[in-house]
Amino acid sequence: MKYLNLTILNQELRDKNHTDEATKMIIPIRCFSCGKPLGHLWEEFAERTQKGEAPKKIMDSLYIERFCCRSLFIGNVELIDIAGEFKRS
C-alpha cells in the first residue's frame, strides 16, 4: 500500500512540474500567417501589460507591426491553468 501512495505522489509531482514549465510558453513560437518568430516576446509583453502599459505601445516597442502578429498577442488567452486542473485518469 505504501508503494501505491508513493507512485501516486511521484505522478502528482511530475504533473505539477510539467504544468509549471508549460506556463512559461503559451503563445505560438511563430506567427501562423507570416512566420515571424514571436514566442520570445510573450513574457515581456505579458509583464508590461500587467504593469498597466498600453498593448499598442508595447507592441510598437517590440517591433510587432503586422496585423496577423498583433492578433496573436491580443487574442491570446492563458488557459493553461484551467486545463491543468483536469488530470489524466
CATH of the domain at 62: 1.10.10.60
What's the total number of domains in the chain?
1
DSSP state of 26: -
- Residue-range definition of the domain harbouring residue 77: 2-84
89 in a domain, yes or no? no
Contact 25, 41 (CB under 8 A): no
Assess if residue 30 is contained within a domain. yes
* pLDDT value of residue 8: 59
Could you give the angle at the alpha carbon of 68 between the alpha carbons of 65 and 74, nearest 5°? Answer: 85
Cell of 14: 511530475
The residue written with cell numbers 509583464 in the block is: 47
Q: In whole angstroms, what is the distance from residue 51 CA to residue 79 CA?
A: 20
Question: pLDDT tens digits for 41-83?
Answer: 999 998 999 999 999 999 999 999 999 999 988 888 777 777 7
Q: Flag whether pLDDT at 20 surpasses 50.
A: no
Q: What is the mean predicted confidence (pLDDT) over 16-35?
A: 68
The pLDDT score that the predictor gives to residue 84 is 75
The answer to whether 80 and 19 are in contact (CB under 8 A) is yes
Single-letter amino acid, residue 35 = G
